[in-house]
Amino acid sequence: MESNERAPGREALSGARRVVVKIGSALLTNDGRGLDEAAIGGWVDQIAALHARGIEVVLVSSGAVAAGMARLGWSVRPSAVHELQAAAAVGQTGLAQCYEGHFARHGLRSAQILLTHDDLSNRKRYLNARSALRTLVALRVVPVINENDTVVTDEIRFGDNDTLGALVANLLEAEALVILTDQEGLFDADPRHSPTAQLIHEGRAGDPQLAAVAGGGGALGRGGMATKIRAARLAARSGAVTAIAGGRQAEVLTRLVDGERLGTLLRPEHAPLAARKRWLAGQLQVCGSLTLDAGAVSVLRDRGSSLLPVGVKAVSGRFVRGDMVVCVDEQGERVAKGLVNYGSDEAARIVGRPSHQIEAILGYMEAPELIHRDNLVVI
Ligand SMILES: Nc1ncnc2c1ncn2[C@@H]1O[C@H](COP(=O)(O)OP(=O)(O)O)[C@@H](O)[C@H]1O
Ligand SMILES: N[C@@H](CCC(=O)OP(=O)(O)O)C(=O)O
């Protein structure tokens, strides 16, 4: 097939409305001499083009350590953690400035978000990060995310940004994760060592055979293909398709979104909602319960709606925002479970009341729903 054809099976990518784009260290740096500002400008141009089509783009960008090393005049990547942290702190400023300047050429704003593993494994911080990111996206701002390298320690480090990209795709329920790197995609062997290696065009995220061909990273990158394959598996948990493609290919982002057969496409094996709901259903302990009126039971079961406070009659148990609670009908039969947006004390004060009164009752409003439908599984 010619590479500029619209390829069957690429619809998942061409139909995506929200995309997480991860740009790796191997691409961002100018042979270790700081940031490749011209190349960054080119990706920003493409992201702006996607934006203009109404596609929401969230960027996960590496490059802080490499940029910091250049600014500090270091030619060799340090191994001491405190030096890496210092380099990241110096470099992250340059990275943010570079994106801000390029997005401004298109009349777009960017926002810096630095995350740690803890932020996404702690449910409360996870929900907070998600609210902030959703708000930025709704404001048509492009979030530029990196690991908060200056505060993380080895035990709690993502290390590579492929994993971070996948978790952000999960967090925002993006339809696609696009990983741009210095190779054209996943080959059946590491092309640095096997010049005859063939590009794998499509595959199943989670296929164990992929891990067998994926090797480690180059001098500048961290995880290599191994972490990209793992990222595809993680992204698939929330139904996202993953594309691994060459960031130096002309117009790579726009061509991918146009459905062109570029790079490697790894598809989730399960439907998005089902994957997400399975995660919710399987993972978390229940901390309390909400008794729903008949109307709320029916909209949850029949329409997959969010649970609003107005449909709740009673609250029991002690829970905080982000905890899992079970929803029961007035006969005590289990209807659903999900992650609450309000702790038990606040929930008790707002149940039975319309959402527009929440702010007047509590003095603030986290969200109009008690449980957002993305965080709710009917059982
Ligand atoms: N099977 C493979 N196909 C393609 N690249 C591979 C494979 N196995 C290992 N690699 C290596 O992975 C590198 C990309 O990963 P990495 O250096 O971590 O980059 P990034 O900073 O973009 O994440 C490539 O330069 C390549 O040498
Ligand atoms: N957070 C680090 C990036 C880590 C890294 O290089 O990851 P990757 O681009 O996946 O190889 C930085 O900004 O330097």
For residue range 41-72, what is the model confidence (pLDDT) as tens digits? 999 999 999 999 999 999 999 999 989 999 99
Nearest to 165 by CA among 183, 182, 147, 153: 147
User: With left for phi above 0 and alpha for psi between -120 and 50, is residue 48 left, alpha or beta?
Assistant: alpha
Nearest CA to 47 among 256, 245, 234? 256
Q: Which residues of 342-359 are buried (b: 16+ CB within 10 A; e: fewer)?
A: bbbebbeebbeeebeebe
Distance of CA 52 to the CA centre of its chain: 21
Point out the ligand 1 atom lying closest to the alpha carbon of residue 228.
23
- With cut-offs at 50, 70 and 90, classify the pLDDT of residue 284: very low
Q: Are 29 and 62 spatial neighbours (Cβ–Cβ below 8 Å)?
A: no
**Ligand having the closest approach to the CA of 61:** 2
Mutate which of 114, 147, 157 for ligand 2? The one with the most ligand atoms within 8 Å of its CB, which is 147
Contact 88, 65 (CB under 8 A): yes
- Cβ distance 28 to 63 under 8 Å? yes
Among the atoms of ligand 2, which is closest to the Cα of residue 159?
Answer: 4
Residue with tokens 């996943």: 186
Task: Choose one of 29, 62, 83 to mutate for the ligand 2 pocket test, by most ligand atoms within 8 angstroms of C-beta.
Answer: 62
pTM of the model: 0.75
Using DSSP's 3-state secondary structure scheme, residue 215 falls into coil
- CB within 6 Å of ligand 2 — which residues? 24-25, 62-66, 88, 146-147, 149, 160-162, 217, 221-223
68 conformational bin, left if phi > 0, alpha if psi -120 to 50, beta if neither = alpha
Domains of the chain: 11-272 (3.40.1160.10), 284-378 (2.30.130.10)
For ligand 1, say whether the CB of 181 is within 6 Å of any of its atoms: yes
pLDDT, mean of residues 175-200? 94
The answer to whether the annotation marks 264 as part of a ligand binding site is no
Cα torsion through 127, 133, 139, 145, rounded to 10: 170
What does the pLDDT read at residue 220?
A: 62
Q: Which ligand has the nearest atom to the CA of 225?
A: 1
Nearest to 109 by CA among 145, 133, 140: 140
> Mind listing the pLDDT tens digit for each residue in 105-159?
999 999 999 998 778 766 678 888 989 999 999 999 999 999 998 887 765 577 7
Return the ligand 1 atom nearest residue 219 CA. 17
Q: Minimal CA–CA distance to 120: which of 130, 131, 112?
A: 130
Band the pLDDT of 279: cuts 50, 70, 90: low
Ligand 1 pocket residue status of 200, Cβ below 6 Å: no
Residue 149 labelled as part of a binding site:
yes
pLDDT tens profile 325-374: 999 999 999 999 999 999 999 999 999 999 999 999 999 998 999 999 98
Average pLDDT on 75-94 reads 91
Q: What is the dihedral of CA 170, 176, 178, 179, to 10 degrees?
A: 30
Closest atom of ligand 1 to CA, residue 187 = 3
Amino acid at 131: S
Residue 171 near residue 113, CB atoms below 8 Å: no
pLDDT at 75 over 90: no
